[in-house]
Amino acid sequence: MRLNPLKIKDVERLQRYERIINDILKKREFSRADIWPCGESKGLIGRIINVLLSEGAIIERGKDHYKWIDKKREEYKKQWQRPISVHQIKRLSREQRPREKLLKYGSSKLTTAELLAIFLRTGTKGKSALHLATELLNRFGGVRGIFEAEIKDLLKVEGLGEAKVAQIKAVYGLAEQYLKEKVKRGKIIKSSKDIYDYLYFTMRDLKKEVFKVFFLDGKNEVIKVEDLFEGTLNQSSVYPREIIKSAIKYNAVGLIFVHNHPSGNPEPSLSDRKITKELVFAGNLMQIKVLDHIIIGENRYFSFADEGLIEEYNLKYLSKMG
């Protein structure tokens, strides 16, 4: 058996093989551990090494120590280091092409690289759109890294001109707008996770703190969402009176507060706790329920309600009034 790229019809499998083989080709002598950083499974890496051994392309010099036969190594370089010959999307049958797969089966059936290749549309000399998409994902560590990359860094990638970079930034902008519109009037809020899922993408990377208020009706349906305060939250920047005034204007019976921590750590500060307690007291005074205060950090969040603090503050208010 020989690892011939022209005989591998499945593009995703071809890409996985190419990543492994190109890493193996980097060194004349190597171990399995040298190849693990490529990101593919250890099992697949082992199978490819075994095939190379069986065909005599490499020899085993010791326990987990392999060496290329120079002639074979050059043959593999010619076959596997020319992605234009093996990754051209036009080589695929119509049903295998990303755009056609998307239209026929839906986005869930496509790999991330295939989805990215669709809006890149074309590659460049020596790279198909699919190969360029794979390179971008590897270089920037995934979709998030691509979206958040500086324009100047994207333009350094061979095959990305201003038009393609503009497309990437436009898709990012549309994704942000889509997530903002998900929280609209009539949306029922069921849990803190709902809020986190809606707002994480748009709030996680803000450089300053933004304090949002969800105004809800009696069925926990969203009436309005407003950004009321910006900057480091403290007693002088968050005004319970202004929040209650807005709640009365919208005829809201419930409130959820959300703000972000640019540091990435969502644990509440003493100031966060004090402000939340004051807001719960103000809501009780006006018979408006404070349902939660959520702090969004890096890949995680803190919910005052989930931690039992909203209930604790309500009981303190009742004991104080009693």
What pLDDT shows up at residue 289? 95
Residue range 258-288, pLDDT digits in tens: 999 988 899 999 999 999 999 999 999 999 9
Rounded percentage of the chain residues whose pLDDT exceeds 70: 83
pLDDT at 98 over 60: yes
Q: How confident is the model at residue 307 (pLDDT cuts 50, 70, 90)?
A: very high
pLDDT tens column, 104-119: 777 777 777 788 888 7
The pLDDT, as a whole number, for residue 85 is: 40
* pLDDT at 195 exceeding the cut of 80: yes
pLDDT at residue 168 in the model: 86
Range of 172-186, 236-250, 280-294 with top mean pLDDT: 280-294
pLDDT at residue 86, rounded to an integer: 43
- pLDDT given at position 239: 80
Mutual angle of helices 270-285 and 240-249, in 10-degree steps:
40
Determine the Cα–Cα distance for residues 20 and 215; give it in Å rounded to an integer. Answer: 53
pLDDT of residue 303: 96
More confident residue, 278 or 149: 278
Residues of the chain with CATH 1.10.10.10: 5-81
* Section 228-254 average pLDDT: 81
Is residue 294's pLDDT more than 90? yes
pLDDT band at 16 (very low <50, low <70, confident <90, very high): confident
Return d(Cα 318, Cα 314) in angstroms, integer. Answer: 6
- Residue 57 is predicted with a pLDDT of 92
Res 65: pLDDT: 93
Tokens of 70: 């120079």
Q: Are 200 and 301 in contact (CB under 8 A)?
A: yes
Residue pair 61/6 in contact by the 8 Å Cβ criterion: no
Residue 159 makes CB contacts below 8 A (sequence gap 6+) with: 123, 124, 127, 132, 135
- Tens digit of each residue's pLDDT (9 = 90 or more) over 215-226: 999 888 889 888
The answer on pLDDT for 200 being more than 80 is no
Question: Rounded mean pLDDT of 139-165?
Answer: 85
List the CATH code of the domain at 5-81: 1.10.10.10
Of the candidate CATH numbers 1.10.3470, 1.10.150, 2.40.10, 3.40.50, the domain formed by 89-180 belongs to 1.10.150
Q: Where in the chain is the domain with CATH 1.10.150?
A: 89-180
The separation between CA 86 and the C-alpha centre of its own chain, rounded to angstroms, equals 29
Task: Return the pLDDT at 301.
Answer: 92
Task: Read off the tokens for 273.
Answer: 């706790």
Parts of the chain belonging to CATH 3.40.140.10: 184-321
Q: Is the pLDDT of residue 185 over 60?
A: no
CATH topology of domain 184-321: Cytidine Deaminase; domain 2 (3.40.140)
Determine the average pLDDT of the residues in 233-245: 74
- Dist. CA 168–CA 173, nearest whole Å: 9
Higher-confidence residue: 255 or 263? 255
pLDDT score, position 17: 84
Provide the token pair at 18.
């190419």
Rounded to an integer, the average pLDDT of 246-251 is 93
